[in-house]
């Protein structure tokens, strides 16, 4: 989670919501990392999780190791409970494990508002480990919104 928090800190310059994510391979190596770049890139899909998943899949393609875009032996670690888009991306990438920090009671899709990653009608399910360094992750978001909303 420390690596995901370090990624989240990189959003400050662009004024993006401080969310960070890393994809960890089966050997513990970081395969991909990302932080919110929606404001910086003008891209509504540039969430930390999506960027980390893309980079991990690209790293796998370049290295020739693993099962290509299928991240079926990886863990996604993210500072905030993923939204529906990011949860769907995890399912499609076949990520088996999710670790997240703070819950998102407004848009979370991994157990709070929705539970996309454990939807029985889908072809893949994700094991969820919530609340890792929750207070620290939540405080980072509270500080950001306090500063931006006055």
Catalytic-labelled residue, pool 7, 37, 39, 49: 49
Active site residue 134: no
**Residue 127, beta-bridge partner list:** 97
Bind-site residues for Zn(2+): 47, 83, 86
Q: What is the Cα–Cα distance from 89 to 110, expressed in whole angstroms? A: 12
Q: What is the Cα–Cα distance from 124 to 101, expressed in whole angstroms? A: 22
Token output for 42: 């003008």
Q: What is the Cα–Cα distance from 29 to 11, expressed in whole angstroms? A: 23
Bind-site residues: 47, 83, 86
The catalytic site residues sit at 49
């Amino acid at each position: 989670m420390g690596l995901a928090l370090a990624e989240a800190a990189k959003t400050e310059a662009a004024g993006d919501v401080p969310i960070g994510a890393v994809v960890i391979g089966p050997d513990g190596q970081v395969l991909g990392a990302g932080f919110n770049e929606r404001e910086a890139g003008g891209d509504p899909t540039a969430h930390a999780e999506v960027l980390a998943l893309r980079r991990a899949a690209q790293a796998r393609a370049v290295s020739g190791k693993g099962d290509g875009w299928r991240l079926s032996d990886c863990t996604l670690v993210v500072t905030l409970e993923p939204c529906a888009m990011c949860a769907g991306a995890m399912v499609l990438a076949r990520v088996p494990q999710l670790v997240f920090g703070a819950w998102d009671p407004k848009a979370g899709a991994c157990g709070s508002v929705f539970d996309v990653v454990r939807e029985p009608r889908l072809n893949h399910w994700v094991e969820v480990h919530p609340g890792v360094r929750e207070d620290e992750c939540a405080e980072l978001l509270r500080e950001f919104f306090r500063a931006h909303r006055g």
